[in-house]
Amino acid sequence: MVQPPLFLQNTIAVIWDFDKTLIPGYMQEPLFDHFGIDATKFWEEVNGLPKFYQKGGLQLISKDTLYLTHILTYVRQGVFPDLNNKLLRELGAKLKFYPGLPNFLDTLRKVVKDNSEFSRHDIKVEHYIVSTGLRQLILGSEISSFVDGVWACEFVEQVAPPGYLETSQGELFAEPPVIREIGYVIDNTTKTRAVFEINKGSNKVVEIDVNATIKPADRRVPFQNMIYVADGPSDIPVFSVITQYGGRTFAVYQSGSTAEFVQVNNLQKQGRVQSFGAADYQEGSQAYMWLINTVKEIATSIVSARSLALGDKVGRPPHHIS
């Protein structure tokens, strides 16, 4: 007996980086402003941590996520007093996005929704954010209601002590919520894990493990139905995976920044990305036109594939011989 495929593969996934892709700077700025912290000094300290830890005897250091441990140090030292996830989410509301956002995400959805041929095949666009930043800041921002999922770093407020299984919930959660540990980490390399979760559908179906072996025909969002939008070299692992398997890649730079332009221009020269443009998502911009056109191209490919499959599986009706 022939088993039907798990998914119809009629979903287009637009996957976004966050910092300098959706917003001009770094999402931690509202956090620093709230506590009156010099952002430049904070990042200089973070950049100096590898040498600091090496002097202490460490050899292997995860540089991408050192800023998380430094935030926790600021909390413990009273520089970020009583910082918790609720406050992070509130601060996320202060984030300002590039021109055209967040409404452009719905515009991309309407590209397929308003096309009768695409809608006949029930094609839809989903948006995901995959970031090395803080998930609570993103969830508190204006764009959160426009996306279908967010992968980013999380902090734990209540730490489970030894013997916690025999302790009442009331005792465990009696202390005021303050971030104490790192609960989930996304770095530049593990961003690819999120992409595979979208690909296999484990973000939608809990029974599907991202490490499970799943045939390409049974994956929820084939790589050729993916678009990845990001700003720089830190996104090369995801750019490489998406490109390798037939997806689409687009790099953005801040308008007027020569350094960022050169950076993404080099990414295209190296074959890392297919195209690039200024981080402006207003109608008529390079990013606007490229992304809309690419969504249409992918949707058209889905229609063609489904039409061919229909022709292969549905025989022609009998007719009179003339």
Residue 113 is predicted with a pLDDT of 95
Cα–Cα dist 273/49, whole Å: 32
Enter the pTM of the model. Answer: 0.91
In a domain, 55, yes or no: no
165, part of any domain: no
* Mean pLDDT score across all residues of the chain: 91
Pairing of strands 226-230, 149-156: unpaired
Residue 6 lies in a domain: no
- Measured distance CA(26)–CA(42) in Å, rounded: 12
CA distance 79 to 98: 30
> CATH code at 271?
3.40.50.1000
pLDDT for 155 beyond 90: yes
CA distances to 148, 287, 292 from 281, in Å: 19, 6, 10
| Residue 39 belongs to some domain of the structure | no
Percent of the chain with pLDDT over 70: 93
pLDDT digits (tens, 9 = 90+) for 92-142: 999 999 999 999 999 999 999 999 999 999 999 999 999 999 999 999 999
Q: Could you give the number of structural domains in the chain?
A: 1
For the cut 80, the answer to whether the pLDDT of residue 174 exceeds it is no
Comparing C-alpha atoms, which of 134, 135, 125, 122 is closest to residue 104?
A: 125
> Domain containing 125: what range?
11-25+92-155+184-313
User: Angle at CA 296, nearest 5°, toward 239 and 123?
Assistant: 95
Residue 199 token pair: 């690909």
Q: Is the pLDDT of residue 260 over 50?
A: yes
Q: Is residue 103 part of a domain?
A: yes
- Express each pLDDT in 34-48 by its tens digit: 999 999 999 999 999
CB 251 within 8 A of CB 257: no
pLDDT higher than 60, residue 316:
no
The answer to the question of residue 42 being in a domain is no
Edge-to-edge strand list for the sheet holding 248-253: 181-184, 149-156, 124-134, 11-16, 226-230, 248-253, 275-278
CA angle at 141 for the pair 37 and 42, rounded to the nearest 5°: 20
Domain annotation covers residue 69: no
Asked, as a colleague might, if the bond just before 102 is cis with ω within 30 of 0, I would say yes
**Does 279 or 158 have the greater pLDDT score?**
279
**What's the pLDDT score for residue 257?**
95
User: Please, are residues 101 and 22 in contact by the beta-carbon 8 Å criterion?
Assistant: yes
Closest alpha carbon to 49 in 31, 34, 68, 75: 68
